[in-house]
Structure 1
Amino acid sequence: MDEVKQLVQDIKNGNLKPIYFLMGEEPYYIDKISDFIEETVLSEEERGFNQVVLYGRDITVEDIVSNAKRYPMMAEYQVVIVKEAQDLSRTIEKLTPYAENPQRSTILVINYKYKKIDKRKALYKGINKVGVVYESKKLYENQVADWIRRVLSPKDYTITPKASQMLVEFLGTDLSKISNELQKLQIILPTGSQITPELIEENIGISKDFNNFELRKAIGERNVVKAHQIVNYFSENPKDNPMVMTISLLFNFFSQLLHFHGLNDKSPRSVASALKINPYFVNEYINAARNYPMKKVSAIVATLREFDVKSKGVGANAISQGDLLKELLVKIL
């Protein structure tokens, strides 16, 4: 995120490069940087003659070079933006000669989503010498809550840890989807508001009481009644609560609990650092460790692996996902 801020600031300051090659698994920042260049480098009057957007599925690398080599009309720069350039992955290396000698009055922006170019090859070296190669990496799940907080902070909004966890659980690590939901909340909430689980439930439709986060907590506390209530809810709403996601979250939880048991320093700060979790959730692990000794945790991890296979139809074709989940819960508790 800091790299993106610096890149945007450089563009604002007029420190422009002839090529921006935006690549990687996370499309959110690729789109953000590309859109920022599209909207700010040229004035509205200049864009009509000097800005073109191309799509990888419709063009060749030769088309890109041909457009990039044109001169601007009544402007200092022209901007050429290539979207979905990953569709040209088999021929993208043909861009090397242009990268080694780019048109200085052209700002060429390549959006190369979900893939990367080989950093050992001439294309990468050529672009990196004269332009910018930005790799947008996928965030790990335990990094997304902090990302949400950092995105909201400049806009004068805050969010509770549980609300962040609900968004991550429901939307995964897809930053574009999370950003869209946050924007919806910002439209209806006054500046300075705190986003709470109740607001998430009311406006996005994620249950604050019946979700994987609450199931994990109930299991950790050995709250049998609450855990069964949540699993019954999941059984009645299987499309909104896929078993594979539940197993994945529980597997991560008990794997971390196994790690917790092996820690010498179990102070809250040390635990948060070692498990890479928000300090807000440390007590959840401390309480769970009291309820599940290491031997029991090891057995649960093995059970979760077994049920992960079953949830994918191996050896359990005739059993519904809901019944499998109920059986899993009994074995854990």
Structure 2
Amino acid sequence: MAAPSSKNSYEAIKNDIVNRRFKPIYLFMGDESYFIDELTELLSETVLTESEKDFNMQIFYGVDSDVNEIISSARRFPMMAEYQLIIIKEAQNLDKFELLEVYANNPMPTTILVISYKHGTVDKRKAIIKKIDKVGVVFESKKLYDNQIPGFITTYLKTRDIGIDGKSAQMLSDFVGNDISKLIPQLQKLEVSLPPESTHRRITAEMIERNVGISKDYNNFELVKAVAKKDIASASRIVDYFSKNPKENPIMATVAVLFNYFSNLLECFWLPKKDEVSVMAALNIRSSFFARDYMDGIRNYNATKVMNIISELRTVDAASKGIDNISATHGELLKVLIYKIMH
């Protein structure tokens, strides 16, 4: 989530907005809409009071707005307020977007211009990026990596005074993936299910099983743990459950989780030190809880075996999509895959 300037992290920008340290121009761009929407909404809630918004807040939509009209509006003075707030939504559809550079050369100190540019980025070599970054904020909202999602879940819930254990966070991560637009509704569903009167609210694997539909005992998290430990009996039980419940446990999701695990594990074999601290640093893991599977994997596999497993995962992924596969069911493919991994 880094921006062209290191000062422009999501948390740093959020903190400045909350403390009313505003910049004249904000450009939020990137492939992850969640962080763009969050920062835009925070500015909408923070800059002006409800009574000030009537005369000092304008929202433009890129697809049907004129850039010259936006610049003209931005050059006006606020009415009975310290600031005026102008938000351009879906700015990626704004015709002649780069003309905003004219305004960025000399922005009004009493105007806060927010540019929400989704599903892509402005070429960072362009002058407009350099101009905005000099006087304001340029924030690139990137998709989180799979291994960052458990940490995001933990942080998101912590801001709502809700705890969650490592296993439960990983269960949700494996089930939803790194699509935050799908993850947030699941977290909100879990939050609503918590007793409001409780002072120590905490999400557990049992709650996830009841409200999200993920089995606390038969899921990709438990499968990876069994595979890492080479616990053949546990892995076989989980795979058998997956085979009997294919809709709730699609093979593509399982293969993706295993591919992510073994790709990270392969990286661990090249580390000068293969201790827990080194593994956590290399894989950007915050908690030792998530490093345990990799420590088990280092003990139970070698680099050559892991490379063969990754190759096999690619083959099974293709076969699950019908490539070079005439009759094998997804359950059969998964059983053979796990057998080859663990033998």
Q: Normalised by the size of structure 2, how large is the TM-score? A: 0.86
Shift of 1:165: 0.4
CA distance in 2, matches of 1:96, 1:147: 34
Corresponding residue pairs, total: 332
Q: Could you tell me how far apart the structure 2 residues matched to 1:10 and 1:260 are?
A: 38
In 2, distance between residues paired with 1:98 and 1:305?
50
Q: 2:309: which partner in 1?
A: 300
Match of 1:56 in 2: 62
CA gap of 1:282–1:22, structure 2 versus 1, over 3 A, is closer
Supply the AA of the counterpart residue of 2:292. Answer: N
Look up the match of 2:73.
Answer: 67
Which whole-Å deviations, capped at 9, do the CAs of 1:228-264 have from their partners, x for residues lacking one? 3322333343333332221122122223333344444
Change (3 A) 1:86 1:234: farther
2:259 aligned partner: 251
Provide structure 1 residue ranges, at least 5 long, that are not aligned to the other structure: none
**Alpha carbons 2:20, 2:46 under 8 Å: kept:** no
Cα gap change, 1:232/1:32 in structure 2, threshold over 3 Å: closer, same or farther? same
Letter in 2 for 1:250: L
Deviation (angstroms), 1:205: 2.0
CA positional deviation for 1:288: 3.5
Counterpart of 1:125 in structure 2 is 130
Aligned-partner residue type, residue 220 of structure 1: A
1:15 to 16, 21, 34: 21
**Deviation, structure 1 residue 166:** 0.8
% identity of equivalent residues = 48
Contact 2:78 2:84 in 1 (8 A): yes
Q: 1:314 to 1:64 in 2, by over 3 A?
A: farther
Contact conserved, 2:224 with 2:293, CA < 8 A, in 1?
A: no
Could you list the runs of 5+ residues in structure 2 that have no partner in the other structure?
2-7
Q: TM-score, normalised by structure 1?
A: 0.88
Q: 240-249 or 18-27, which moves further after superposition?
A: 240-249
1:299/1:30 CA distance change after superposition, 3 Å: same
Show the counterpart of 2:87: 81
Distance, in Å, in 2 between the alignment partners of 1:202 and 1:40 is: 37
User: What RMSD, in angstroms, separates the aligned Cα atoms of the two structures?
Assistant: 2.6
**1:146-174: CA deviation from partner (whole Å, max 9, x where unpaired):** 23333333443321110110111112123
The structure-2 alpha-carbon separation of the partners of 1:55 and 1:240, relative to structure 1 and needing over 3 Å to count, comes to: farther
Following superposition of structure 1 onto structure 2, how do residues 177-256 of structure 1 map, counting pairs within 5 Å?
177-189=182-194, 190-256=198-264
> How do 1:259-298 residues align onto structure 2 when only pairs under 5 Å count?
259-277=267-285, 278-298=287-307
Residue 140 (structure 2) pairs with residue 140 (structure 1): no
